[in-house]
Amino acid sequence: MAKLYFKYGSMGSSKTAQALITKYNYEENGMHVWLIKPAADERDGAIILRSRVGLEAPAEVVPPHSDIYELYRSREKTDVIIVDECQFLTPAQIDQLRDIVDVENIPVLCFGLRTDFQCKLFDGSRRLFEVADTITEIKAICDCGAKATVNARLDSEGCIVTEGAQLLLGGNDRYLAMCHKCWIRNIREHRKVKNR
């Protein structure tokens, strides 16, 4: 029986690498994988999914207005669906993936972030927490050695940003995974320096 999986982690937890390895494992067993990513993720070009460790594969881009179930029906054969950056999908698109699992008995594996730089849930992630069959955390480590749970956004000077738009694409140049304690400490230290 197929399931809807949500595998989440902070920045730098190798979510994309795990998605690509999972794709490889299915294909090695002769299965047809539909690899998709939201249109909001254009860091590596329109149709490329690339991990920080160098793995990459072509992926179909799904705009926010697209019906994923209808896209699935237009395909010739799909044994499994793998979604990267699923936090950028709309709640309706998550429900469409849920329908594919329930009606078509096709497993769907979603990889993405839980929260943004303000520790607020993304809409797609929120819906996955509500409807996924299996939820797994992919762990990352803060510089202090604790589990990283926060995606700290950095400005050009390396200081933590606490205001701004939820969607701002970037990698290690713009984000740093850290534990909540270090995140709060860094914000307070920056405020002290700024107020001097």
- Answer yes or no: is 169 within a domain: no
Does a structural domain hold residue 92? yes
Does the annotation flag 119 for ligand binding? no
3-state secondary structure of 65: coil
Q: Does residue 72 form part of some domain?
A: yes
Residue 191 falls within a domain, yes or no?
no
The amino acid that residue 10 corresponds to is S
Annotated binding-site residue? 159 = no
Tokens (6 digits) for 57: 């594969």
Q: What is the mean pLDDT of residues 164-187?
A: 74
Half-sphere exposure of 119 (CA within 13 A, CB side): 11
Whole-structure pTM value: 0.88
**Does residue 40 belong to any structural domain of this protein?**
yes
Catalytic residue among 27, 70, 85, 137: 85
Give the model's pLDDT for residue 55. Answer: 80
State residue 129's pLDDT score: 97
In the prediction, which pLDDT does 169 show? 61
Which segments of 44-172 does DSSP mark as H helices, in order? 68-73, 91-99, 123-131
Report CA Rg, the chain.
18
144 is in an annotated binding site: yes
**Residue 189 falls within a domain, yes or no?**
no
CATH number of the domain that 67 lies in?
A: 3.40.50.300
The count of domains in the chain is: 1
The 10 Å CB-count burial string (b at 16+, else e) for 56-78 is ebebebbeeebebbebbeeeeeb
Residue 74 gets which letter from DSSP?
T
Residue-wise pLDDT for 4-54, tens only, equals 999 999 988 889 899 999 999 999 999 999 999 998 755 555 677 767 777
**pLDDT tens sequence across 60-70:** 999 999 999 99
> Among this protein's residues, is 56 annotated catalytic?
no
What's the rounded Cα separation, in Å, for the pair 58 and 36? Answer: 9
Report if residue 8 sits inside a domain.
yes
- Is 86 annotated as ligand-binding? yes
H or E stretch at 194: helix 180-194
Give the integer Cα–Cα distance in Å for 140 and 119: 16
**Considering the domain boundaries, does residue 186 fall inside one?**
no
**Does residue 85 contact residue 62 with C-beta atoms inside 8 Å?**
no
Looking at residue 173, its pLDDT comes to: 63
Sequence letter at residue 84:
D
pLDDT tens-digit series, residues 76-103: 899 999 999 999 999 999 999 999 999 9
Specify which of 82-91, 111-120, 144-153 reaches the highest per-range mean pLDDT. Answer: 82-91
Look up the domain containing 100 and give its range.
4-139
Ligand-binding site membership of 133 (annotated) = no
By the 8 A CB rule, do 166 and 37 touch? no
Q: CA 77 to CA 79: how far, in whole Å?
A: 7
